[in-house]
Amino acid sequence: MIILITGASHTGKTALAQKLLEKYKYPYLSIDHLKMGLIRSGNTELTPLSDDSALTEYLWPIVREMIKTAIENKQNLIVEGCYIPFNWQEDFDKEYLDHIKYYCLVMSENYIRNHFDDIKKFASVIEKRIDDDCSVDGLLQDNSQVLNLCKKHTVNYVLIDDEYKINIDL
C-alpha cells in the first residue's frame, strides 16, 4: 500500500507520516528530504525558495516512479510532502491506483484562528524548522488555496476544524 499525504504548510504531514510509520511499520519518504538532497548535491539549479510549481514539476516525476517501483515490488510506503500535484491520479494506470491512498490535510479558517499558537508550537515536532515565517494570514491563504484545489480536482481531503484529530486506518 502507498499512502500519499499532502497539504499546506504546517498541517502536520510529517507528524502524520511518523505516526503511521510507528503504527503500521511502513517506511516514509519525505519529499522535502529528496528536494534538499537534490539541491545540495548540485543536481538541480532550483533552491528551497523556488516556486512550488517549479519544485513540483521537478520532483513529482521522480517521486511518481519511486511509487510505481514500490508497488511493483509489493512494498508499503508513505510519501509525504507538498509537492504532490492535485491531478496525481492521471499519472497512474488502474493497476497502480488500486494500491494508493491519498490524503490532503487542510486546516479550516476557524482552526487556524483559534489554534495559531498550537500550530506554531508543534511546527517543529518532527523536523526542526530553521526559519519559520508562519503567519495567520499565510496559513489562511495557503489552506484556502489547497481546499479549493482539492474540491476542483475532487481529491480526498481531511478538514481539520474544531480540534486536531487525524485518524487514518489502513
Condensed to tens digits (0 to 9), the pLDDT of residues 123-142 reads 655 555 455 577 889 999 99
115-124 pLDDT per residue, tens: 888 887 776 5
Q: Cell digits for 86?
A: 492535485
CB atoms within 10 A of CB 152: 10
Percent above pLDDT 90 for the chain? 77
Backbone angles phi, psi at 58, to 5 degrees: -80, -45
pLDDT value, residue 124: 53
Please report which confidence band the pLDDT of residue 66 belongs to, taking 50, 70 and 90 as the band edges: very high
Average pLDDT over residues 39-54: 94
pLDDT value, residue 119: 83
pLDDT value, residue 129: 47
> How far, in Å, CA of 112 to CA of 110, rounded?
6
Contact of 66 with 29, CB cutoff 8 Å: yes
Average pLDDT over residues 51-67: 97
Q: Looking at 30-34, 83-87, 92-96, 114-118, which range is the least confident one?
A: 114-118
Average pLDDT over residues 105-118: 92
> How far, in Å, CA of 47 to CA of 55, rounded?
9
> How far, in Å, CA of 112 to CA of 8, rounded?
12
Contact of 33 with 80, CB cutoff 8 Å: no
Please report which confidence band the pLDDT of residue 165 belongs to, taking 50, 70 and 90 as the band edges: confident
Give the type of residue at 36.
M
Q: What's the chain's average pLDDT?
A: 91
Q: Tell which residue, 122, 154, 151, 145, has the closest CA to residue 13.
A: 122
Average pLDDT over residues 97-102: 98
Average pLDDT over residues 73-85: 97
